[in-house]
């Protein structure tokens, strides 16, 4: 009996440690160093040449690397963002993802262990109302938490975060074929687990080379707008952003959106038709998403 209590206490101690680490460790917030300098260079490039930006966060004033996302609750961008967990009141990201998995796996183990002990007790002593209710409680928790643990284990095996799983249709480096989702960041099962356990930032993994959807749509629209104009003897003129002094970030957004509107209007006038206009509208929506 003493050994049973020791096992329960050991699991609870490990669970408490994992919870504390998940709640208090920095999940991987982007600081003021490299990402901030890259952001400033990207803004200068937009103002100078009118090139559409990569993923920028104007709230944090950083250039977001692939796999990162702005967390509204923390008001910060987080590397390898997985999700925000209200039970620990912290985001789960690159630097605390291992401890979060420890929380759910240890809790699932504890609930399963208590469920088995309850079944053994009923078998030896018979069922009581309190024991039956407790058994039902632990059984439901064990079922849910084991499923949650298996779900995250599968994501780790494929090197996919919860955010990427939910928003895979919006991410250029996520693919889905024959009902199976995969990431271009995947390096194989063993290497995926090793990368995850070591909390390695793999956002620059050469095998992925993620391209932002906004850039693709911009190139597509410029191509579709340019071809009809060439047949008519002239290329469309787009309102330039170069040399513009953007006093506020909102002015920069407005300038980019105005530029896209001009591109759509000229594409329609030169024969691009409704399809080109729809492309421009989609580009505007992508721009809002990329700069939110």
| DSSP per-residue letters across the chain | -HHHHHHHHHHHHHHHHHHHHHHHS---B--SSHHHHHHHHHHHHHHHH-PPPSSEETTTTEEPPTT-EEETTTTEEETT--EEETTTTEEE-TTTHHHHHHHHHHHHHHHHHHHHHHHHHHHHH---HHHHHHHHHHHHHHHHHHHHHHHHHHHHHHT--HHHHHTGGG-TTEEEETTEEEETT---HHHHHHHHHTT---TT-TTT----HHHHHHHHHHHHHHHHHHHTTS-------TT---SSHHHHHHHHHHHHHHHHHHHHHTT-HHHHHHHHHHHHHHHHHHT-
At 89 the pLDDT is: 93
Count up the domains in the chain and report the number: 2
Structural domain contains residue 94: yes
Q: What is the pLDDT of residues 142-162, one digit of tens each?
A: 999 999 999 999 999 999 999
Are 148 and 21 in the same domain? yes
Q: Please report which confidence band the pLDDT of residue 64 belongs to, taking 50, 70 and 90 as the band edges.
A: confident
Q: Please report which confidence band the pLDDT of residue 30 belongs to, taking 50, 70 and 90 as the band edges.
A: confident
At 244 the pLDDT is: 43
Which of 94, 125, 158 is the last residue before a domain boundary?
A: 158
Are 124 and 220 in the same domain? no
Q: What is the extent of the structural domain holding 242?
A: 213-290
At 235 the pLDDT is: 36
Structural domain contains residue 197: no
Structural domain contains residue 45: no
Q: What is the pLDDT of residues 110-133, one digit of tens each?
A: 999 999 998 988 888 877 888 888
Structural domain contains residue 48: no
Q: What is the mean pLDDT of the chain?
A: 75
Are 10 and 140 in the same domain? yes
Structural domain contains residue 190: no
Prediction pTM value: 0.66
Which of 138, 158, 178 is the last residue before a domain boundary?
A: 158
């Amino acid at each position: 009996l003493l050994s049973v209590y020791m096992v329960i206490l050991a699991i609870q101690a490990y669970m408490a440690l994992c919870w504390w680490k998940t709640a208090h460790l920095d999940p991987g917030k982007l600081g003021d160093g490299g990402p901030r300098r890259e952001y400033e260079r990207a803004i200068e490039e937009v103002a100078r040449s009118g090139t559409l930006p990569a993923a920028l966060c104007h709230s944090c004033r950083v250039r977001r690397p692939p796999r990162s996302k702005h967390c509204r609750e923390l008001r910060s961008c987080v590397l390898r963002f997985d999700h925000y967990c209200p039970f620990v009141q912290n985001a789960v990201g690159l630097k605390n993802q291992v401890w979060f998995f420890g929380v759910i796996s240890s809790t699932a183990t504890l609930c399963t262990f208590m469920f088995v002990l309850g079944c053994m007790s009923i078998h030896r002593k018979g069922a009581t109302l309190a024991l039956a209710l407790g058994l039902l409680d632990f059984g439901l928790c064990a079922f849910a938490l084991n499923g949650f643990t298996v779900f995250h284990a599968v994501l780790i095996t494929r090197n996919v975060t919860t955010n990427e799983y939910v928003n895979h249709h919006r991410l250029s480096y996520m693919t889905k074929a024959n009902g199976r989702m995969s990431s271009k960041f995947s390096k194989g099962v063993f290497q995926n687990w090793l990368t995850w356990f070591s909390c390695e930032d793999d956002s620059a993994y050469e095998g992925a080379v993620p391209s932002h959807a906004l850039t693709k749509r911009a190139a597509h629209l410029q191509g579709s707008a340019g071809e009809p104009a060439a047949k008519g003897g002239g290329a469309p003129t787009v309102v330039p952003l170069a040399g513009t002094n953007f006093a506020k970030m909102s002015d920069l957004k407005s300038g980019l959106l105005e530029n896209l509107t001009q591109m759509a209007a000229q594409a329609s006038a030169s024969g691009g038709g409704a399809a080109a206009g729809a492309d421009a509208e989609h580009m505007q929506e992508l721009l809002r998403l990329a700069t939110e």
